[in-house]
Structures are given as C-alpha cells and as structure tokens.
Amino acid sequence: MKLLHYIIFINKINNVELYFIKNQNKPICANCKFYIQTNNKCSNFGEINIITNEHNYEEAIIVRKDDNKCGEDAIFFKQNYFKFITILYYDIVEYKDTITFLLNIFFVPIFLVYLMFYFIIH
C-alpha cells in the first residue's frame, strides 16, 4: 500500500512541474515558415531596399515581443511542413559565393575534359 502511495505522490509531482514551464503551449518560431534559421530572423516582417533589392528582416525575438507584430501568442504563425527544404534554401542563399567557387573548382575541369574528349571522338 505504501508503494502505491509513493507512485501517486510521484505522479502528482510530475504534474505540478509541468505548470512551472512558461510558454509551453505557444507556437515556436523555429517551426514557422517565416523563420530564417541561419540568422534568427522573421521573413514576415522587415523591409526591402528599393535600390539594391536587399531584404532587411527583423529579429524573431523582437517580433515575438512586440504585440503589434506577431506577439507572444504568434498570431502570424504558419506551420512549416517543408522545414528541411527551407533550411537548405537559406543555407544556399547565405553561402552562394562559396558554393559557386567550389562548383567552379570541381566541375569546370571535369566539363573541360568532357568537351576535349567530345571533340576528339567527333
């Protein structure tokens, strides 16, 4: 009987601990389709430079703290069902110069060798 009492007491403690976790039922920015993971920004809020077409997005933490924007309750939250594609896209955008350089180093010589053999055979 004492063992059953301890099990019930442990369950009550576990249930009480859940109430100390703040914001546990609110949407998380990392799961939102507007969240840019590489620099913790929100693509839903910001501005575009009309001269250079550069996007200047606001920090996600600032957007979530401002009730006039997304707010603590994340009123503009949209679930990102393609998170793996979104992360890859922003990584490519951020490191596009490095990726272009690496592609030139590896694939241009291979393409030149292919062209050389093509013209030799034909």
The tens digit of pLDDT for each residue in 78-101 reads 998 887 787 777 777 777 777 777
Q: What is the pLDDT of residue 10?
A: 52
The tens digit of pLDDT for each residue in 21-33 reads 777 788 888 889 8
Tokens of 45: 């809020």
| Closest to 42 in 3D by CA, of 53, 52, 55 | 55
As a residue count, the chain comes to 122
Measured from the Cβ of residue 54, the count of other Cβ atoms closer than 10 Å reads 9
pTM over 0.85: no
59 beta partners:
41
- The position carrying tokens 């249930």 is 15
